[in-house]
Copies of this chain bind each other. A is one copy, B any other.
Amino acid sequence: MKIQPLADRVLIEPAAAEEKTIGGIIIPDTAKEKPLQGTVVAVGHGTKDEEMVLKAGDTVLYGKYAGTELEHEGKKYLIMRQSDVVAVLA
């Protein structure tokens, strides 16, 4: 079974987390959030207001708190609105 995002949502497989902390508290140098990286797995059909520009296979950057987590057939995904994706790596 395949997950088909609705409207202007995209399904993203997050890249393996690289940011590890070894036994300590990290004091960030700024309050700004760094976006995370992932791969688009499926996209919705868009809406009147939001045409889809992303496609499956795109490597994307998205905000740390963007989207909703989702587990499907043992894998973790994120589903979010296309407008929460800030950039594509091309």
Would you call A69 and B30 a contact (CB within 8 A)? yes
Would you call A9 and B79 a contact (CB within 8 A)? no
Number of this chain's copies in the assembly equals 7
Chain B, residue nearest A78 (CB): B32
Q: Does A57 contact B (CB under 8 A)?
A: no
**Chain A 1-48 interface residues, beta-carbon cutoff 8 Å to B:** 1-7, 9, 11, 30, 32-35, 45, 48
Q: How many angstroms from the CA of A7 to the CA of B63 in the assembled complex?
A: 15
**Chain A 60-90 interface residues, beta-carbon cutoff 8 Å to B:** 61, 63, 65, 67-71, 79, 82-83, 85-90
- Known contacts A45-B53, A49-B48, A68-B63; decide if A89 and B3 are in contact (CB<8 Å): yes
CB within 8 Å of B: which residues of A? 1-7, 9, 11, 30, 32-35, 45, 48-49, 53-54, 59, 61, 63, 65, 67-71, 79, 82-83, 85-90
